[in-house]
């Protein structure tokens, strides 16, 4: 098959890196980057690190509001799909790039393959929830990562073309484990960041969701991170450019104890997650990685589309929203300072993450559809 793959954000590049080699072994891929994460720090370096081919088409859409950004993607994608004449358009996840790719393809009568179909937070206030629901209902193939995702699709009447395939991000993480588990890898990261790092000697944090850039949220979560910091255990915050801009616009200065770093590469991020005392995040991708790595994780959201990560964590992952008391109690329970270093060392030493086989399952499903045509 001739397949146009549409990506635009760092998490989508991770998934494309996991799927791409298997996809290109069997099918002809045209790679399109919308530019939703538009700078070199947010996305550009990922191409080299993950071994991704440079895009066949780069749209350079960049930032903007949801309607403006999605509209410009629609305008830019349509002539590409008309010219490329693909047999299918493949989209990943729940971003504006996902929505635009699915909409343009469906309107042109091109079958849509949606990777990470069926995820639901059941919170329509999240832009991502709207994007994933629309993409699922337009898709010819819904590649679901979990049994719960399959059940969510069935509850909405979507059963045709649904295949449970596993998680592409787990496939890629399984390949990187050997490189990140050695404490010397952590020391090297600390040297690059200019802060000494030891196993269990810091808390890792990421904040990027739209709901955590509102004035009320910006007045709350910096205090949660500050309360998580100790003189001997700082918080390392990988700060998304959009979140930095929101903080600057609101005049919010992050409290002491929070060490801000720029967006990080894939393996650097995995290294920091694995060896941390705990993780504080609103990222769906980081939630899943924390679950696979076994690192205690506080989710700074009231809902999540990855309910199985929370339910299967044995209590190591907790939804705390922006409740400071709940966050403090969870951190004290999951990562007591007197145990953090030993726990982090034991976690890294015993880590053995198997791939899910998602890439092979997706390629096989597409190949079966090609035979059936």
The Cα–Cα gap between 341 and 360 comes to: 38
Q: What's the Cα-to-Cα distance from 102 to each of 26, 74, 110, 363, rounded to whole Å?
A: 22, 10, 9, 19
The Cα–Cα gap between 6 and 93 comes to: 11
CA nearest to 342, candidates 199, 177, 228, 233: 199
From the list 37, 57, 114, 208, the catalytic residue is: 208
Tell me if 277 sits within 8 A of 200, measured CB to CB. yes
**What residues does 203 pair with on adjacent strands?**
235, 278
Query: How many residues comprise the chain?
Result: 373
Tell me if 4 sits within 8 A of 23, measured CB to CB. no
DSSP string, 161-182: TEEE---HHHHHHHHHHHHHSS
The Cα–Cα gap between 343 and 199 comes to: 9
In our burial notation (b when 16+ CB lie closer than 10 A, e otherwise), range 116-149 reads bbbbbbeeeebbbbebbbbbbbbbbbbbbbbebb
Active site residue 240: no
The Cα–Cα gap between 16 and 338 comes to: 40
Dihedral sign, Cα of residue 44, residue 309, residue 289, residue 206? positive
246 phi and psi angles, rounded to 5 deg:
-65, -40
Dihedral sign, Cα of residue 50, residue 6, residue 150, residue 296? positive
Tell me if 218 sits within 8 A of 252, measured CB to CB. yes
Query: Helices 10-26 and 358-372: crossing angle, nearest 10°?
Result: 50
Tokens 């030891």 sit at which residue? 198
Catalytic residues: 208
């Amino acid at each position: 098959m001739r397949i146009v793959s549409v990506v635009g954000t760092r998490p989508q590049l991770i998934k494309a890196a996991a799927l791409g080699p298997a996809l290109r072994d069997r099918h002809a891929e045209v790679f399109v980057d919308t530019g939703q994460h538009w700078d070199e720090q947010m996305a550009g370096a990922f191409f080299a690190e993950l071994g991704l081919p440079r895009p066949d088409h780069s749209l350079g859409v960049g930032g903007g509001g949801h309607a403006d950004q999605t509209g410009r993607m629609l305008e830019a994608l349509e002539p590409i799909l008309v010219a490329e004449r693909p047999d299918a358009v493949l989209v990943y996840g729940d971003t504006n790039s996902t929505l635009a790719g699915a909409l343009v393809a469906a309107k042109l009568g091109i079958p849509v393959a949606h990777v990470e179909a069926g995820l639901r937070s059941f919170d329509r206030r999240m832009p991502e929830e709207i994007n994933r629901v629309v993409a699922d209902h337009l898709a010819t193939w819904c590649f679901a990562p979990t049994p719960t995702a399959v059940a969510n699709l069935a509850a909405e009447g979507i059963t045709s073309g649904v295949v449970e395939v596993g998680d592409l991000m787990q496939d890629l993480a399984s390949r990187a484990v050997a490189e990140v588990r050695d404490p010397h890898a952590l020391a090297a990261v600390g040297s690059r960041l200019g802060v000494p790092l030891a196993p269990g000697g810091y808390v890792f944090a990421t904040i990027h969701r739209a709901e955590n850039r509102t004035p009320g949220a910006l007045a709350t979560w910096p205090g949660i991170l500050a309360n998580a910091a100790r003189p001997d255990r700082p918080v390392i915050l990988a700060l998304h450019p959009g979140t930095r801009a929101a903080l600057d616009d609101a005049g919010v200065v992050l409290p002491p104890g929070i060490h801000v770093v720029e967006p990080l590469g894939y393996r650097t991020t995995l290294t920091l997650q694995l060896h941390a005392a705990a993780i504080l995040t609103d990222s769906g991708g980081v939630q899943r990685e924390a679950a696979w790595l076994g690192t205690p994780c506080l989710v700074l959201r009231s809902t999540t589309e990855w309910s199985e990560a929370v339910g299967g964590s044995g209590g190591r992952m907790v939804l705390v929203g922006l409740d400071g008391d709940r966050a403090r109690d969870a951190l004290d329970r999951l990562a007591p300072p007197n145990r953090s270093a030993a726990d982090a060392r034991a976690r890294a030493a015993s880590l053995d993450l198997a791939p899910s086989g998602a890439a092979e399952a997706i390629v096989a499903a597409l190949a079966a559809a090609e035979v059936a045509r």
